[in-house]
Chain A
Amino acid sequence: MTTTDTKAETDTEAPGGLDDIDAELAMAVVASPWARVVARARRGGWFSVLSVVLGLVFAILVIYPLVRVLIQAFFGDGTFDFSIASEVLNYPGLGQMLLNTVILVASSMVLALFFGALFAWLMERTDARIGRLAALMPMLPMLMPAIAGAIGWVFLLAPQAGFINAIIRAVLDFFGVHLTSGPLDIYSWTGLIALYTAYQIPFAFLMITTGLRNSDASMEEASRISGASLRHTLMRITIPVLRPSLGAAALYMVWFGFSFYSVPVVLGTQMNVKVLPVEIVRLLTFTYPSNTKVAVGLSIFLIIAIGTAWYFQGRILRSNRHSSIGGKGQRNSITRLGKWRRPAQALLVLYFALTFVFPLIAQILVALNGYWTTAIKWSALDITRLWSGITANSQASSAFGTSTLLALIGATIGMTVAAIFALYLREHRSRISRVLDGVIKLPAALSAIVIGLGFVLAFAGPPFNLGNTLVILLLCYLVLFLPQATIAADAAAAQVDRQLSEASWVSGAGNARTFARINIPLMIPGLVAGWGLLFVWMTGELNASVMLAGTQTPVVGYYILQTFQFGGFATLASLALGLTVLNIVVLSIAHFIEKRTTARGI
């Protein structure tokens, strides 16, 4: 060949892999990492220093409590011994408790995966899709926190006073069957598993929906055209392609299930069914003197369970590396369900009613009535009582106020720190910053129970003496939710082209100014959405709050549990309702702002 097309040649001559990551790796190699970080930080001005310091502070806040948990577990009395191990292993009822936990997690996982996948498929690939519900479904656990939902279902299905039971009994009465209690009982294994499942479905739905959206429907169409039946296509194409999403959902459920506290504490305590997270909290908080040693020992089981799940998740992801799904964003074809369309839609609506509408109605009824009874005097319902459970009870209102305040401060600090750190990380991918990022995201891989436990060990006593203060709650919330905050901020930062900040920098603006004038305004939609989620998670936080809150610092989750144990049902209903309404309002506002700022053409 003697003639050369210049442009074709240039493309093939380009050495691959000379991207930014390599550049930063080079930096980490060339000089000692610390010297580099310091030099870069100094060059970037005080704002870079601030970013690194914030990263360090939060990394320490994550690591130190965990170290304290491990020290307590293995060197409880100052020397390395196995006394804790033997104490834990000989703990009465340990085997039964672990078995209970595993049964609950495993059974609800299978059910939730099934329903989550079914719902996702109905919504994404069939004409049974209900648009509004599809958007709402993943948000359900945030709209009504599990603790509020669980209490709602107790109101509905308690054997004697449950509203649904009363209705069923009235109907049966009409046919001459007389019952004094039941026939349904929420305080049962069925009830327990049903609620575990109900609260896991949204996560399965979300992850499988994402998987379906990213996978190309033409793969399924190709299978159908090749002559495979719908069932065969499902087994051979759809499910294998979705394996990573299914795996991710399963992992999430193990993580979620092993630290799920609200439902088992509400139902299990009454049934005398012990599960791991409830027992850990009980030993630490509701026993006197508290049995820290065993609580810490038990938490190791939690860590092992979650760690194992992570290991398998990694295996699944690695084994699926070849099946990168090449969705070209074509319009996915819609399967027509024919006569099954209406029943399928009814099923979707029923799920929504069961997890949201019915418990909400129960909460409203109990609150309006002033006390919990099946003999509701409809004429005597008082609208002013709706909130009186909160307003008339000084402890309840202070708990509500404290939670709102903590969530306002916490979500704001959390998103700000996350935004600063996300941007820093984007511009400075050194080894150190990556380690910091990993550490800050670590709590997402651990149980809130373990983090809360660590905070009690690390900060409640001397030298910090932060026990019973708002500070310890705030710090713990920040550590717990910073992973989610940074994920939201990373996504928001990814929306902003790096050259936009470089253009500002070259224009003569320093890092801080670029952050304030360019990055923050452009990231606002994503940050607001993240802020809303953080707020909701913080107001509804239960696991760590139960361990860290006290009478001086009541928060809603803690106070709801207390009230549940002592039976102030009207207050309970008001609190659950108040929390639900607050969440809906905050998420709606966040959604509105997000939409408006996005619509501005950014």
Chain B
Amino acid sequence: MSTAVSERTLRQATPDKTPSATPALVIENVRKEFVRRDGTKVPAVDNISLRIEQGEFVVLLGPSGCGKTTLLRCVAGLEDPDSGTITINGEQHYSSGNRVNTSPDKRKLGMIFQSYALWPHMKVSANVAYPLKVRGVPKSQIRDRVMNVLELAGIKELAEQYPGQLSGGQQQRVALARALVSNNGLVLFDEPLSNVDAKVREQLRFEILKMQSEIGFAAVYVTHDQDEAMELADRIAVLNSGKISQLDRPEAIYDRPADRYVAKFVGATNEINGVVESLGADGAVVIKTEAGQIDALLGEEGITVGDTVCVIGRPERFELREASAAGAKNEWPVEVRTTMFMGDHRGAVLRAKGWGEMRVHFPSSTDVEPGGSLAVALPAKFARVYKPSSR
């Protein structure tokens, strides 16, 4: 996780994204329906509103089919929404009320496609020069600007190559350069790293952040990869069936998910069902489960005594300890099934009464023997309570 640390420092170096300036992108009540073959209408984007400040990096995170790519394509103008408004840098580009709907070439965006979409019949330099050329930038400037951005992307020496001669990572840099060479400060990313291997992906994430801090563009980044989202985002919008389930900083999304869907989508979870026994101050609750009483925190509003709920704990929040004779609160004796060495941590599959099989992470420097008698404990602040099915 060393890269993550350096990115954080980088991010702090960028100027504050103050809401006072004209936002880079304002999406209001955008809705887009698809009709299935059997005639039922499915809202791919269901009245989404989102405001992205200048220089802000927002990641749209969700499983395939949640509407994140559709929303991005609506912003680009490649897809027509059914209703709502889309305003880019204070300029309205789509409005169902005002009957405004500009074509993509009028929106002055940069966009990076999943397939990179480099034009195979043009050299790298021509690919990058294209947005400048079609926007009527004087020839004298084009070459300098192209070389500058290629240098920034670290591929200056590839200018005279054709895309077919490049590796996946290099192609991705060209696509990045092309998107950045001419835009009005808003760049759209459509799952750009899903086609490169893990090592290159990590490197490119880092460079995207570096370039963002140097140039200072706002970004809307679509992905289904939570690690990618965590690493890149100022804010993450977790999408579920066309709606934003939660929009917040990565730490908040992870530690305080808004509902069970977000909790389960971002990071791994252990779950147990129970009934609310009592409500205390500051959201403290006691839940009665098959594993006994659990002290926990309310994860969302609208839960009262007697409700059936779901207690969720993340694998690394469980503490592994010797089984104490008394059986303390929030502690369960476990039977070790298997352990897995994962490099930076160890994973164990345990069996506990009421929980069934649970997964727990602990530092890789410690080890446990299968069959040993141990216990795990979950501090109350990490046991979060949600309605069993959110929405």
List residues of chain A with CB under 8 Å of any chain B CB. 1-6, 9-11, 13-18, 22-23, 25-27, 29-30, 40, 43-45, 497, 499-500, 502-510, 513, 517-518, 521-522, 600-602
Contacts and interface: CB of A to CB of B under 8 A. Distances in A.
Contacts of A518: 119
B117 A44 contact: no
Interface in B55-93: 63-65, 76-80, 82
A3 B121 contact: no
Q: Which 7 A-B pairs have the closest CB atoms?
A: A10-B63, A14-B65, A503-B117, A507-B131, A499-B117, A601-B164, A26-B35
Given A505-B103, A510-B103, A2 B178 contact: no
Interface in B22-67: 33-37, 41-42, 44, 63-65
B230 interface: no
B243 interface: no
Interface string B276-308: 000000000000000000000000000000000
Contact of B105 (A6, A25, A508, A521): A508
A13 B120 contact: no
A498 to B, nearest CB: 9
A600 B123 CA distance: 12
Nearest to B107: A506
B103 A43 contact: yes
B295 to A, nearest CB: 18
A507 B270 contact: no
Given A3-B357, A601-B165, 16 more contacts: A2-B272, A2-B355, A3-B358, A6-B267, A14-B64, A16-B65, A17-B37, A43-B103, A506-B105, A509-B105, A509-B134, A510-B103, A513-B134, A522-B120, A601-B164, A602-B121
Nearest to A16: B65
Which of B82, B117, B178, B359 has the most chain A CB within a 10 Å cutoff? B117
A9 B261 CA distance: 11
20 contacts: A1-B356, A4-B268, A5-B268, A6-B226, A10-B224, A22-B34, A22-B35, A25-B34, A30-B82, A40-B80, A43-B102, A44-B103, A497-B117, A499-B114, A502-B111, A503-B113, A504-B134, A505-B103, A508-B182, A602-B121
Nearest to B73: A502
B95 interface: no
Given A3-B268, A26-B34, A505 B120 contact: no
A9 B356 contact: no
B357 to A, nearest CB: 6
Contacts of A40: 80
A23 B79 contact: yes
A505 B78 contact: yes
A29 B108 CA distance: 31
Contacts of B270: 2-3
A522 B164 CA distance: 13
A595 B36 CA distance: 42
A29 B35 CA distance: 8
B103 A45 contact: yes
Contacts of B119: 500, 503-504, 518, 522
A4 B117 contact: no
